[in-house]
Amino acid sequence: MACHISVRSIKFTPSYTGVRVEATTDVACHMWIRLSLRPPWVHKQPEMRRGMQFATDVRFCFTTFEDNEQFESGDTLTHTWYKPDWPVCTTKWLYLWGQIAGQACVSTTPPFKYHNDGVSPVPTPDFMHTINSIEPQYNVIAGSQVWNTFDSSHDIPVGATGVLVIIENTSSYGSQYFGLRKNGSTFAATGSIAPLSIQAALVGVDADRKWQGFAYTTLAVRCWVYGYTSPNVIFLPTPISIKPAMDDVYHDVDLSASCPGAILILTELSSTGPSGYIYSIRAKGSTKELYKLGNHAFPFVAAGTGGKIQVKATNPFGYATLFWHVIGYIKTGVTVNLNPTAIVVGTGSWADRTSNLARPLANFTFAEIISTVGTAVTAMRKGSSLLDLKRSNDKHGFWIACMPTPGTAGYYKADAGTNFYTLAVTE
């Protein structure tokens, strides 16, 4: 029996360079827009009624058309297209068709007609939380040791300052080098991610909402954009080095001048070597002691007394050079936890848990992950989501997950020696 798709809403946004189309459907599916400069032909198809044929079954068809696949990957409820070859003062006709899990489906929605007058309506400013969730958008970072530019302008609104990214190493044979940065930046820190591992990161975007990714090996490193940041999240034009002496001792770092008013500090930890280092980061005044081995990561930490943080590190392997930079900070809309306690999660299945910070409007949680087993599979995800991306996080990782109503995130661990600690929540 044929599956059916119904378009519940459609929106056109005109401009002098093209038209943006946004649609929602009643079921998750993957859609195409069939566009034509000519109106559809209407014909009647005979149908049998009580042994007699009646030409009453109306059909629409285009004689010349082009198909345009939605911008999102996979089956989704929201679908977007941007058509740059839709000139001003041009009318086009279109209808939407799609597939569910690869199976072509019947659309119950009639054709649409739209005239691009070239004048965009005055937009209502998008409301932004400090961090905002979107359907995960899949990207592959091509290798050949060049910086790839990714355009997120179709996924995040004007005014967004950064994107929230999951980075995955799909290779089981060895560590992979990758890097992330704002488009146009000359900051070029890269580091290794362990085999079959994942990391979460925040990376700044430019005014055109573009960012860059770097990888040594094609198809080994892939990523998903699953959120974006508001102007509350500030990315520094030039990251600040906070590399400590590798002496296994905490060192104070004063960020009061470079990150004025910061509540949460965003950093990037990288290395020239394929092996990791033991490290810890905490707010000045905190007694947190989560000191474990990790690789390329994006640690975050509360700004402590006097705008200071503390970092310490040591290199058990002796040959990798460590780099540690402050890449940005959050100054409002975030509540921090100086001395976090573990989130209690069983092993072997996903569990939704509330944050241990009593903030009823919290929509994202920041967690530090510590494990006694370097290959232990751990993961976090949007509460009640079906995204099932589980990988190792080394012994020391950081994650950012959405907490939709009623304010829960999904946690997974395969090993009892793994713990999640809430460091902050945003609203």
Closest by Cα among 176, 395, 373 to 293: 395
- 3-state SS, 324-366, equals EEEEEEECCCEEECCCCCEECCCCCCCEEEECCCCCCCCCEEE
pLDDT of residue 122: 55
Report the alpha-carbon distance of residue 208 to residue 228 in Å, rounded.
14
The two structure tokens encoding residue 125 = 């400013």
- Top CATH class of 4-116 equals mainly beta
pLDDT of residue 281: 93
Q: Residue 417, SS3?
A: coil
For the whole prediction, is pTM greater than 0.75? no
pLDDT of residue 411: 92
| Phi, psi angle pair for 155, to nearest 5° | -115, -25
Q: Count the neighbouring beta carbons within 10 Å of the beta carbon of residue 344.
A: 11
E strand residue ranges, 62-116: 66-69, 76-83, 90-100, 103-107, 112-116
> Topology of domain 340-427, per CATH?
Jelly Rolls (2.60.120)
| Phi, psi angle pair for 404, to nearest 5° | -70, 175
Domain segments of the chain: what residues?
4-116, 340-427
What residues are paired with 162 via a beta bridge? 204, 229
Q: Is 4-116's fold the same as 340-427's? A: no
Tens digits of pLDDT across the chain (427 residues): 568 888 999 999 888 878 889 999 999 999 999 898 888 776 566 666 666 665 555 566 667 788 899 988 889 888 999 888 888 888 998 888 899 988 888 777 788 889 988 876 655 556 789 999 988 888 888 877 789 999 998 888 889 999 999 988 888 777 788 899 999 999 988 888 878 888 899 999 999 999 999 988 767 788 889 999 999 999 999 999 998 888 889 999 999 999 999 999 999 988 776 667 888 999 999 999 887 877 888 999 999 989 999 999 887 776 567 889 999 999 999 999 999 889 999 999 999 998 888 788 889 999 999 888 767 888 888 887 777 788 877 788 899 999 987 788 999 999 898 899 999 999 8
